[in-house]
Structure 1
Amino acid sequence: MGVRQWFLGWPVIRQITGDDPLGRGSAVRSARTERTVPRTAQADSVTRSICPYCAVGCGQQVFVKDGAVTQIEGDPDSPISRGRLCPKGSASKQLVTSPSRVTKVLYRRPHGTDWDELPLDQAMEMIADRVLATREQTWQQRDDEGRTLRRTMGIASLGGATLDNEENYLMKKLYTAMGAVQIENQARI
């Protein structure tokens, strides 16, 4: 390709000399542009979901190829967000695809300096045992004046911004049933 041919291939020159003076069509298209396809075009499936970050409940479309999430975008059919996502929602793909995401149960023993991998069943049993022991040790049936309390001050819950309304509802029910009174949530962006 000569210099003249290369120069005439510039989009601005094609725009000025061609039939697309506003630069909205063929003047701005190139061979590379023609080969470009959206990241979502090759997805095997698209699943509708809800953004996990706050209680707003923005709709998301999750694009999957070969069993892996390839893209997450706002769902234009969502009556709540109408296809829009905040910066956190737009970056939510990182929740499932980040190489630094922990996917195994890690446990650091008391006074330990290293993390050990545990089977999920063992970790769940350890948590249940500790919750029951703490509740038993800190249970207050009555106060000093004989008034019924039925509570524990040894267990508390602090929810975060990645919990949705349903999860918060279930956590409130669970902790209340266990007798906890300190149940809080930070659900702001």
Structure 2
Amino acid sequence: MPRKLSLDWPVLRQLTSGDVFARDKNTESEKYRTMQPRTAEADRVVQSVCPYCAVGCGQLVYVKDEKVIQIEGDPDSPVSRGRLCPKGSASEQLVNSETRVTDILYRAPRSTEWVKLDHESAMDMIADRWIEARRNGWEDVDKHGRTVNRTFGIAGLGGATLDNEENYLIKKLFTASGAIQLENQARI
């Protein structure tokens, strides 16, 4: 029994419409015509920088109902020109992971238990320790009698994903505190 030739067959449409190289709408399926990108439903798009390494690739973060729904490479980024490595492409999973820790946790020395802290208590604890370390490690003069006004009680290790403005402010903070041991991930 001969098979009936369908007029909707893509090759037949291609030949009868003059689209020999199949670059026209003749080769589109109904599913393709109705497809929408995942980002079409986003309320807003936020520019960001990938948190994983020192390269600093640009990201576009799509947000809907205050939840990240997609992260893509930013084509306007001079660093990555819209491309992301596999880790950067998967950073949406980092943000939306059910196992992501969003509380401030503190474990006292020699303790086996983590304790949740509120933001203000954690900031006070950091500030108190900063001042104590600065005071305990302060040096007015060195062994040759020269004025140095420095501390060895505070050191800084910066991350390379910070932008110039953030690094500038961190450097100012540490220098104003008298710290001289400052390093950055980008140099290591």
Q: How far 1:145 sits from its partner (Å)?
A: 1.7
The question of whether the paired residues in 2 share the 8 Å contact of 1:52 and 1:162 is answered with yes
Residues 8-87 of structure 1: pairs in structure 2 closer than 5 A: 14-19=9-14, 20-26=19-25, 28-52=27-51, 58-76=57-75, 78=76, 80-81=78-79, 83-87=81-85
Instruction: Write out per-residue CA displacement over residues 57-76 of structure 1, whole angstroms, 9 at most, x where no aligned residue.
Output: 65433221111111222333
Equivalent position SS for 2:41:
coil
Q: Normalising by structure 2, report the TM-score.
A: 0.79
Give the length in aligned residue pairs.
180
- Could you tell me which runs of 5 or more consecutive residues in structure 1 were left unpaired when the two chains were aligned: none
Q: What is the distance in 1 between the residues matched to 2:27 and 2:116?
A: 55
Percent of aligned pairs with the same amino acid: 53
Equivalent position SS for 1:103:
coil
Instruction: Write out per-residue CA displacement over residues 66-125 of structure 1, whole angstroms, 9 at most, x where no aligned residue.
Output: 11111222333x262584133154344344323332211000011111211111100110
Q: In the alignment, which residue of structure 1 is the partner of 2:173?
A: 174
Equivalent position SS for 1:158:
strand
Q: In the alignment, which residue of structure 2 is the partner of 1:183?
A: 182
Q: Normalising by structure 1, report the TM-score.
A: 0.79
Q: What is the distance in 2 between the residues matched to 1:64 and 1:52?
A: 17
Matched, 1:104 2:103: yes
Instruction: Write out per-residue CA displacement over residues 107-164 of structure 1, whole angstroms, 9 at most, x where no aligned residue.
Output: 0011111211111100110111011001111101101221011111121111123322
**1:156/1:82 Cα in 2 relative to 1: closer, same or farther (>3 Å)?**
closer
Q: What is the distance in 2 between the residues matched to 1:81 and 1:24?
A: 33
Equivalent position SS for 1:47:
strand
Q: Which stretch of structure 1 is more off in the superposition, 78-87 or 174-183?
A: 78-87
Equivalent position SS for 2:39:
coil
Q: In the alignment, which residue of structure 1 is the partner of 2:161?
A: 162
Q: What is the distance in 2 between the residues matched to 1:181 and 1:153?
A: 7
Instruction: Write out per-residue CA displacement over residues 5-28 of structure 1, whole angstroms, 9 at most, x where no aligned residue.
Output: 9x979xxx9443331553444454
Q: What is the distance in 1 between the residues matched to 2:28 and 2:176?
A: 63
Q: What is the distance in 2 between the residues matched to 1:112 and 1:38?
A: 49
Q: What is the distance in 2 between the residues matched to 1:53 and 1:187?
A: 13
The question of whether the paired residues in 2 share the 8 Å contact of 1:54 and 1:162 is answered with yes
Q: What is the distance in 2 between the residues matched to 1:82 and 1:134?
A: 40
